[in-house]
A and B are shown apart, each in its own frame.
Chain A
Amino acid sequence: MIIWSKVDDLVDASTDIAGLQAHGLDLYAARRWRLTGRAVPDDFRSHERAAAMASLAVPTLLGRIRNALDGPILLMKGPEVATLYPDPTLRPYCDLDLLVRDADKSHRQLVAAGWEEVSGGVSHHYPPLRSPDSMLLLEIHARPNLPRWTSTNIDELFSSAVSTALDIDGVQTLSPAHHAVILAAHSWQHEPFRRLLDLIDVAVMSEDVDSSVLERTAQDWGLASVW
């Protein structure tokens, strides 16, 4: 995939440690710099360990979530996108974002199964949850966090869902077309494309999707200007 050679060029040319961290590229840079004989900063190495630990725990956490919930579960963003990177530990994330049919019920079921609320809720999802033995947060969504003007059809997201690359029984993910547009819109919602990581995510998720399908999806959802 051509994007990775471009990312290689970018991190090869960079000496801006804080900038790479801000753009979510420090994990990628750590591996690339090590391969090319450059020193890897301690902060990068610490983050590599944390990322490895997170990726190791994800299948177990998703299995436990699956057992605690009934109804369909769609994994969005972080760990799923990470499977499209050269190594899943190169894409940082600190939470699991799950789209469910009945977020209120799912939230209650997870609390009953031992997950603990971490802090107050924000507008687009229920209070994050944390399993006592995990560093990863869990966010339950009734709908993706998208700009208010969008017209996403939640039923369509579920009916088009596909198997997750993480191969967890009973857990699916968004179709690549839906996922790519949602990643773009989600980034826009937070702060338009504040990180290169967001652009890379969209690029890798779009890789095997016909551009006309992506454009039509964005247009149908009122996101043509974002796309």
Chain B
Amino acid sequence: MRFRVPEHVAARTVDDEVILFDAQKGEYLGLNSSGAAVWDVLASGRPAPDAVEELIKRFDVDRASAEEDVTVLLSNLQNLDLISPITP
């Protein structure tokens, strides 16, 4: 599955972190370096498994941990309406 960033969400990269801003709620969310890596993959329209590969490659984590991290972050981002699935 691929995702898109809703119009009401804006992002800025600061060093290796990403700050997200929800313009509807006026709220911010900061992502650390691994979260930012996942965000970069998803926000660019690539599928979630690519984010798993990115974590394994960049952060030397095992596949199970990477998959769990991506699943949890993706769930949180969707619950906060910061990212939306692209429906075919």
Residues of A within 8 A of B (CB): 34, 40, 45, 48-49, 52-53, 55-57, 59-60, 89, 131, 133-134
Contact = CB atoms under 8 A, between A and B. Distances in A.
Contacts of A59: 10, 23
Contacts of A134: 26
Interface stretch (B13-21, B34-42, B61-69): B13-21
A60 B23 CA distance: 6
Interface residues of B, number: 14
A53 B12 CA distance: 8
Given A48-B14, A89-B12, A53 B19 contact: yes
A contact face: mostly helix, strand, loop, or mixed: helix
A56 B12 contact: yes
Contact of A53 (B13, B23, B28): B28
Contact of B14 (A52, A57, A60): A52
Contacts of B17: 49
B30 interface: yes
B21 A57 contact: yes
B10 A49 contact: no
Nearest to B18: A52
Contacts of A52: 12-14, 19
Nearest to A131: B26
B30 A49 contact: yes
A56 B10 contact: yes
